[in-house]
Amino acid sequence: MRIKDFKVEQWMNEWETKCRYNVAETCTYSVTLDQLFDICGGSRDEFMDEFASRRLTYGDIEGNPAFLEGICGLYETVRPEHVITTHGAAGANFLVLSTLVNPGDDVVCVMPTYQQLYSIPEMCGANVHILHLEREDHYHVDPVKLEALCDENTKLITINNPDNPTGALLSREELQVIVDIARKYDAWLMCDEVYRLLVQDDDAFTTSPIDLYDKAVVVSSMSKVWSLAGIRLGWCITKSEELRHDLLSHRDYDLISCGMFDEAVAAYALAHADKILEARGRHDGARLLRLRHRLVRLLRAHDADRRRAGHAWRRLRGAQVHAHRLCVQRQRGRPQGRPGGHQPLPAYVGIARSFREPALTHPWPARPILRE
Protein backbone atom coordinates (compact mmCIF):
# COMPACT_ATOMS: atom_id res chain seq x y z
CA MET A 1 0.00 0.00 0.00
CA ARG A 2 1.16 3.50 -0.80
CA ILE A 3 0.99 6.32 1.72
CA LYS A 4 1.80 10.02 1.47
CA ASP A 5 5.02 11.37 2.96
CA PHE A 6 4.48 12.39 6.59
CA LYS A 7 5.65 15.95 6.02
CA VAL A 8 5.73 17.41 9.52
CA GLU A 9 7.58 14.39 10.91
CA GLN A 10 10.08 14.47 8.06
CA TRP A 11 10.70 18.16 8.75
CA MET A 12 11.31 17.42 12.44
CA ASN A 13 13.54 14.46 11.58
CA GLU A 14 15.72 16.65 9.40
CA TRP A 15 16.09 19.71 11.63
CA GLU A 16 15.09 18.94 15.22
CA THR A 17 18.54 17.92 16.48
CA LYS A 18 20.53 20.45 14.41
CA CYS A 19 19.24 23.79 15.68
CA ARG A 20 20.47 25.75 18.68
CA TYR A 21 16.99 26.67 19.91
CA ASN A 22 14.13 24.31 19.18
CA VAL A 23 11.00 26.44 19.38
CA ALA A 24 9.02 23.86 17.42
CA GLU A 25 8.94 21.43 20.34
CA THR A 26 5.65 19.54 20.50
CA CYS A 27 5.85 18.33 24.12
CA THR A 28 6.04 19.94 27.51
CA TYR A 29 9.61 20.16 28.81
CA SER A 30 10.88 16.56 29.00
CA VAL A 31 12.09 15.58 32.43
CA THR A 32 14.91 13.34 33.62
CA LEU A 33 14.18 10.44 35.94
CA ASP A 34 15.78 12.41 38.76
CA GLN A 35 13.41 15.30 38.08
CA LEU A 36 10.44 12.91 37.94
CA PHE A 37 11.26 11.48 41.37
CA ASP A 38 11.84 14.97 42.72
CA ILE A 39 8.44 16.17 41.45
CA CYS A 40 6.62 13.09 42.71
CA GLY A 41 8.43 12.94 46.05
CA GLY A 42 9.31 9.25 45.77
CA SER A 43 12.47 7.25 46.34
CA ARG A 44 14.66 6.87 43.28
CA ASP A 45 16.78 4.17 44.92
CA GLU A 46 13.76 2.15 46.00
CA PHE A 47 12.29 2.23 42.48
CA MET A 48 15.59 1.31 40.81
CA ASP A 49 16.43 -1.44 43.29
CA GLU A 50 13.02 -3.04 42.87
CA PHE A 51 13.25 -2.99 39.08
CA ALA A 52 16.86 -4.21 39.04
CA SER A 53 15.75 -7.42 40.74
CA ARG A 54 13.25 -8.29 38.00
CA ARG A 55 13.94 -10.69 35.15
CA LEU A 56 13.75 -8.93 31.80
CA THR A 57 11.02 -11.04 30.19
CA TYR A 58 8.39 -9.73 27.78
CA GLY A 59 6.52 -8.49 30.83
CA ASP A 60 2.76 -8.00 30.85
CA ILE A 61 1.63 -8.65 27.30
CA GLU A 62 -1.50 -6.51 27.57
CA GLY A 63 0.03 -3.89 29.85
CA ASN A 64 1.40 -3.46 33.37
CA PRO A 65 -1.69 -3.52 35.66
CA ALA A 66 -0.48 -0.43 37.55
CA PHE A 67 -0.01 1.41 34.26
CA LEU A 68 -3.51 0.45 33.12
CA GLU A 69 -4.97 1.63 36.43
CA GLY A 70 -3.13 4.92 36.03
CA ILE A 71 -4.64 5.43 32.58
CA CYS A 72 -8.13 4.67 33.90
CA GLY A 73 -7.67 7.41 36.48
CA LEU A 74 -7.57 9.98 33.66
CA TYR A 75 -11.14 9.16 32.58
CA GLU A 76 -14.56 8.87 34.21
CA THR A 77 -15.80 5.47 33.03
CA VAL A 78 -12.76 3.57 31.71
CA ARG A 79 -11.68 0.19 33.12
CA PRO A 80 -8.38 -1.67 32.51
CA GLU A 81 -10.02 -4.09 30.09
CA HIS A 82 -10.86 -1.14 27.82
CA VAL A 83 -7.21 -0.09 27.37
CA ILE A 84 -4.69 -1.34 24.79
CA THR A 85 -1.10 -0.17 25.17
CA THR A 86 1.03 0.82 22.18
CA HIS A 87 4.33 2.41 21.18
CA GLY A 88 3.27 6.05 21.50
CA ALA A 89 0.10 7.69 20.26
CA ALA A 90 1.46 7.34 16.71
CA GLY A 91 1.37 3.57 17.16
CA ALA A 92 -2.14 3.78 18.61
CA ASN A 93 -3.42 5.92 15.73
CA PHE A 94 -1.99 3.52 13.17
CA LEU A 95 -3.41 0.51 15.00
CA VAL A 96 -6.92 1.93 15.31
CA LEU A 97 -7.19 3.31 11.78
CA SER A 98 -5.67 0.29 10.03
CA THR A 99 -7.99 -1.99 12.02
CA LEU A 100 -11.23 -0.04 11.55
CA VAL A 101 -10.87 1.19 7.97
CA ASN A 102 -11.34 -0.98 4.89
CA PRO A 103 -11.30 -0.16 1.16
CA GLY A 104 -14.39 1.78 0.14
CA ASP A 105 -15.30 2.93 3.67
CA ASP A 106 -16.46 6.52 4.11
CA VAL A 107 -14.36 8.45 6.64
CA VAL A 108 -14.87 12.07 7.74
CA CYS A 109 -11.81 13.88 9.08
CA VAL A 110 -11.21 17.44 10.27
CA MET A 111 -8.42 19.56 8.79
CA PRO A 112 -6.00 20.94 9.86
CA THR A 113 -5.09 18.00 12.05
CA TYR A 114 -2.33 15.44 12.56
CA GLN A 115 -1.66 13.87 9.16
CA GLN A 116 -2.09 10.28 10.36
CA LEU A 117 -5.81 10.86 10.81
CA TYR A 118 -6.47 11.30 7.09
CA SER A 119 -3.44 9.79 5.32
CA ILE A 120 -3.78 6.35 6.94
CA PRO A 121 -7.46 6.01 5.94
CA GLU A 122 -6.47 7.08 2.43
CA MET A 123 -3.76 4.40 2.46
CA CYS A 124 -6.40 1.84 3.48
CA GLY A 125 -8.51 2.75 0.44
CA ALA A 126 -11.20 4.79 2.21
CA ASN A 127 -13.16 7.66 0.73
CA VAL A 128 -11.95 10.49 2.98
CA HIS A 129 -14.24 13.52 3.29
CA ILE A 130 -12.53 16.58 4.76
CA LEU A 131 -14.22 18.96 7.17
CA HIS A 132 -12.21 22.18 6.96
CA LEU A 133 -11.96 24.03 10.28
CA GLU A 134 -12.36 27.75 9.63
CA ARG A 135 -10.67 30.70 11.31
CA GLU A 136 -13.95 32.56 11.68
CA ASP A 137 -15.24 29.58 13.72
CA HIS A 138 -12.07 29.70 15.86
CA TYR A 139 -11.16 26.33 14.34
CA HIS A 140 -13.96 24.56 16.17
CA VAL A 141 -16.06 21.86 14.51
CA ASP A 142 -19.16 23.28 12.81
CA PRO A 143 -21.81 20.60 13.49
CA VAL A 144 -23.93 21.63 10.50
CA LYS A 145 -20.98 21.17 8.14
CA LEU A 146 -20.03 17.92 9.87
CA GLU A 147 -23.47 16.41 9.47
CA ALA A 148 -23.57 17.48 5.83
CA LEU A 149 -20.58 15.17 5.22
CA CYS A 150 -22.18 12.20 7.01
CA ASP A 151 -24.76 9.68 5.93
CA GLU A 152 -25.73 6.07 6.63
CA ASN A 153 -22.53 4.90 4.90
CA THR A 154 -20.18 6.84 7.18
CA LYS A 155 -17.92 4.35 8.95
CA LEU A 156 -15.74 6.69 10.99
CA ILE A 157 -15.40 10.31 12.11
CA THR A 158 -11.95 11.42 13.28
CA ILE A 159 -11.23 14.52 15.37
CA ASN A 160 -8.51 16.06 17.58
CA ASN A 161 -9.24 17.57 20.98
CA PRO A 162 -7.45 19.83 21.65
CA ASP A 163 -6.90 20.24 17.95
CA ASN A 164 -3.38 19.81 16.59
CA PRO A 165 -2.08 22.26 15.41
CA THR A 166 -4.58 25.06 16.19
CA GLY A 167 -5.12 24.32 19.87
CA ALA A 168 -8.90 24.77 19.60
CA LEU A 169 -10.47 23.06 22.61
CA LEU A 170 -13.94 21.60 22.25
CA SER A 171 -16.24 21.86 25.25
CA ARG A 172 -18.24 18.96 26.65
CA GLU A 173 -21.34 20.43 24.98
CA GLU A 174 -19.60 20.62 21.60
CA LEU A 175 -18.35 17.06 21.95
CA GLN A 176 -21.85 15.90 22.83
CA VAL A 177 -23.19 17.36 19.57
CA ILE A 178 -20.48 15.51 17.61
CA VAL A 179 -21.30 12.32 19.52
CA ASP A 180 -24.99 12.75 18.69
CA ILE A 181 -24.15 13.01 14.98
CA ALA A 182 -21.96 9.89 15.12
CA ARG A 183 -24.69 8.02 16.99
CA LYS A 184 -27.33 9.12 14.46
CA TYR A 185 -25.37 7.45 11.66
CA ASP A 186 -24.02 4.58 13.80
CA ALA A 187 -20.48 5.71 13.01
CA TRP A 188 -17.33 5.18 15.03
CA LEU A 189 -15.88 8.35 16.56
CA MET A 190 -12.10 8.45 16.95
CA CYS A 191 -10.46 11.22 18.94
CA ASP A 192 -6.72 11.84 19.11
CA GLU A 193 -6.41 13.58 22.47
CA VAL A 194 -2.68 13.58 23.18
CA TYR A 195 -2.94 17.19 24.37
CA ARG A 196 -5.90 16.52 26.67
CA LEU A 197 -5.37 18.07 30.14
CA LEU A 198 -2.74 20.41 28.66
CA VAL A 199 -4.61 23.68 29.18
CA GLN A 200 -3.68 26.98 30.78
CA ASP A 201 -6.90 27.58 32.71
CA ASP A 202 -6.60 25.78 36.03
CA ASP A 203 -10.29 24.88 36.09
CA ALA A 204 -10.45 23.69 32.47
CA PHE A 205 -11.27 19.99 32.09
CA THR A 206 -11.36 18.28 28.74
CA THR A 207 -14.13 15.71 28.56
CA SER A 208 -13.22 12.60 26.59
CA PRO A 209 -15.60 11.10 24.01
CA ILE A 210 -14.93 7.67 25.57
CA ASP A 211 -17.03 8.84 28.53
CA LEU A 212 -19.88 9.93 26.25
CA TYR A 213 -20.29 7.30 23.52
CA ASP A 214 -20.04 3.51 23.34
CA LYS A 215 -18.58 3.63 19.80
CA ALA A 216 -15.87 6.14 20.67
CA VAL A 217 -12.19 5.23 20.39
CA VAL A 218 -9.66 7.56 21.96
CA VAL A 219 -5.87 7.75 21.70
CA SER A 220 -3.28 9.35 23.95
CA SER A 221 0.28 8.93 25.24
CA MET A 222 2.84 9.68 27.95
CA SER A 223 4.64 12.18 25.70
CA LYS A 224 2.92 15.56 25.47
CA VAL A 225 1.30 16.12 28.85
CA TRP A 226 3.47 13.94 31.06
CA SER A 227 6.90 15.06 29.77
CA LEU A 228 7.98 11.45 29.12
CA ALA A 229 8.24 11.15 25.32
CA GLY A 230 11.40 9.05 25.73
CA ILE A 231 9.57 6.05 27.14
CA ARG A 232 7.53 5.79 23.90
CA LEU A 233 4.24 4.69 25.42
CA GLY A 234 0.71 5.34 24.24
CA TRP A 235 -2.70 3.74 24.35
CA CYS A 236 -6.04 3.43 22.65
CA ILE A 237 -9.30 2.86 24.49
CA THR A 238 -12.48 1.17 23.33
CA LYS A 239 -15.45 -0.25 25.23
CA SER A 240 -16.35 -2.56 22.33
CA GLU A 241 -15.30 -6.14 23.04
CA GLU A 242 -15.36 -6.94 19.32
CA LEU A 243 -13.14 -4.00 18.39
CA ARG A 244 -10.79 -4.77 21.28
CA HIS A 245 -10.38 -8.31 19.94
CA ASP A 246 -9.64 -6.97 16.45
CA LEU A 247 -7.17 -4.38 17.74
CA LEU A 248 -5.26 -6.95 19.77
CA SER A 249 -5.28 -9.33 16.81
CA HIS A 250 -3.73 -6.65 14.58
CA ARG A 251 -1.30 -5.65 17.32
CA ASP A 252 0.00 -9.22 17.57
CA TYR A 253 1.65 -8.80 14.17
CA ASP A 254 3.93 -5.91 15.14
CA LEU A 255 4.03 -5.68 18.94
CA ILE A 256 4.37 -8.43 21.53
CA SER A 257 4.42 -6.09 24.50
CA CYS A 258 5.64 -2.67 25.52
CA GLY A 259 8.88 -2.30 27.48
CA MET A 260 8.86 -3.41 31.11
CA PHE A 261 10.91 -0.43 32.31
CA ASP A 262 8.89 2.01 30.21
CA GLU A 263 5.62 0.82 31.70
CA ALA A 264 7.04 0.87 35.23
CA VAL A 265 8.08 4.51 34.79
CA ALA A 266 4.69 5.39 33.28
CA ALA A 267 2.84 3.66 36.11
CA TYR A 268 4.89 5.60 38.66
CA ALA A 269 4.22 8.90 36.89
CA LEU A 270 0.46 8.36 36.60
CA ALA A 271 0.29 7.30 40.25
CA HIS A 272 1.47 10.86 40.95
CA ALA A 273 -0.46 12.55 38.13
CA ASP A 274 -1.75 15.38 40.30
CA LYS A 275 1.78 16.34 41.37
CA ILE A 276 3.01 16.40 37.78
CA LEU A 277 0.09 18.55 36.63
CA GLU A 278 0.63 20.89 39.58
CA ALA A 279 4.36 21.19 38.82
CA ARG A 280 3.63 21.93 35.19
CA GLY A 281 1.29 24.70 36.27
CA ARG A 282 4.06 26.49 38.19
CA HIS A 283 5.86 27.62 35.05
CA ASP A 284 7.40 31.05 34.69
CA GLY A 285 4.92 32.78 32.39
CA ALA A 286 6.92 35.98 32.03
CA ARG A 287 10.03 34.07 30.94
CA LEU A 288 8.02 32.05 28.41
CA LEU A 289 6.46 35.24 27.04
CA ARG A 290 9.89 36.85 26.54
CA LEU A 291 11.01 33.86 24.51
CA ARG A 292 7.92 34.04 22.35
CA HIS A 293 8.48 37.76 21.78
CA ARG A 294 11.98 37.03 20.45
CA LEU A 295 10.47 34.84 17.76
CA VAL A 296 7.82 37.45 16.98
CA ARG A 297 10.60 40.00 16.38
CA LEU A 298 12.26 37.49 14.07
CA LEU A 299 9.06 37.07 12.08
CA ARG A 300 8.55 40.84 11.80
CA ALA A 301 11.68 40.99 9.68
CA HIS A 302 9.76 38.81 7.22
CA ASP A 303 6.60 40.94 7.10
CA ALA A 304 4.72 38.86 9.65
CA ASP A 305 1.54 40.11 11.29
CA ARG A 306 2.53 42.83 13.80
CA ARG A 307 -0.76 43.34 15.54
CA ARG A 308 -0.28 40.82 18.33
CA ALA A 309 1.86 37.94 19.45
CA GLY A 310 0.39 34.59 18.48
CA HIS A 311 0.51 31.67 20.86
CA ALA A 312 1.20 28.77 18.53
CA TRP A 313 1.09 29.79 14.86
CA ARG A 314 1.94 33.07 13.15
CA ARG A 315 0.52 34.00 9.78
CA LEU A 316 3.12 35.38 7.36
CA ARG A 317 2.04 38.29 5.18
CA GLY A 318 3.23 39.31 1.75
CA ALA A 319 3.50 37.55 -1.57
CA GLN A 320 7.25 37.02 -1.16
CA VAL A 321 6.99 35.14 2.16
CA HIS A 322 7.51 31.38 1.98
CA ALA A 323 7.06 29.58 5.32
CA HIS A 324 9.23 26.56 4.46
CA ARG A 325 12.09 28.71 3.13
CA LEU A 326 11.92 30.99 6.18
CA CYS A 327 12.23 28.09 8.60
CA VAL A 328 15.11 26.53 6.66
CA GLN A 329 17.01 29.82 6.50
CA ARG A 330 16.51 30.54 10.19
CA GLN A 331 17.01 27.15 11.77
CA ARG A 332 20.81 27.18 12.32
CA GLY A 333 21.77 29.08 15.43
CA ARG A 334 18.30 30.53 15.79
CA PRO A 335 14.86 29.33 16.87
CA GLN A 336 13.49 26.49 14.77
CA GLY A 337 9.84 26.78 13.77
CA ARG A 338 7.69 24.45 11.70
CA PRO A 339 6.36 25.55 8.31
CA GLY A 340 2.59 25.48 8.35
CA GLY A 341 2.41 23.91 4.91
CA HIS A 342 3.20 20.62 6.64
CA GLN A 343 0.00 20.74 8.71
CA PRO A 344 -1.41 22.04 6.25
CA LEU A 345 -1.38 25.78 7.01
CA PRO A 346 0.83 27.09 4.20
CA ALA A 347 1.01 30.73 5.32
CA TYR A 348 1.80 29.97 8.95
CA VAL A 349 4.89 29.21 11.00
CA GLY A 350 4.62 27.06 14.13
CA ILE A 351 5.84 28.47 17.45
CA ALA A 352 6.80 26.04 20.17
CA ARG A 353 4.48 24.33 22.59
CA SER A 354 7.30 24.54 25.14
CA PHE A 355 10.83 25.83 25.57
CA ARG A 356 13.87 24.48 27.35
CA GLU A 357 12.98 25.88 30.75
CA PRO A 358 13.76 24.61 34.26
CA ALA A 359 10.05 24.17 34.93
CA LEU A 360 7.33 22.25 33.12
CA THR A 361 5.24 24.40 30.81
CA HIS A 362 1.72 24.08 29.51
CA PRO A 363 1.16 26.03 26.30
CA TRP A 364 -2.40 25.12 25.28
CA PRO A 365 -5.05 27.62 26.38
CA ALA A 366 -8.68 26.69 26.86
CA ARG A 367 -9.62 29.13 24.08
CA PRO A 368 -8.60 28.87 20.41
CA ILE A 369 -5.11 30.18 19.82
CA LEU A 370 -4.49 30.27 16.09
CA ARG A 371 -4.89 33.92 15.13
CA GLU A 372 -4.17 35.95 12.03
Side-chain half-sphere of 93: how many Cα atoms within 13 Å?
21
- Whole-angstrom distance, CA of residue 96 vs CA of residue 193: 14
pLDDT band at 328 (very low <50, low <70, confident <90, very high): low
Q: What residues does each domain of the chain span?
A: 7-35+281-350, 44-276
pLDDT at 281: 66
Average pLDDT over residues 256-265: 97
pLDDT tens column, 334-351: 445 555 545 555 555 555
Q: Helix, strand, coil shares of the chain as percentages rounded to 5?
A: 40, 15, 45
Secondary structure class of 61 (helix, strand, coil):
coil
Architecture of the domain whose range is 44-276: 3-Layer(aba) Sandwich (3.40)
pLDDT tens column, 89-133: 999 999 999 999 999 999 999 999 989 999 999 999 999 999 999
**pTM higher than 0.85:** no
- Whole-angstrom distance, CA of residue 138 vs CA of residue 186: 28
pLDDT tens column, 1-11: 788 777 777 76
Highest mean pLDDT: which range of 162-171, 238-247, 355-364: 238-247
- Residue of 39 and 201 predicted with greater confidence: 39
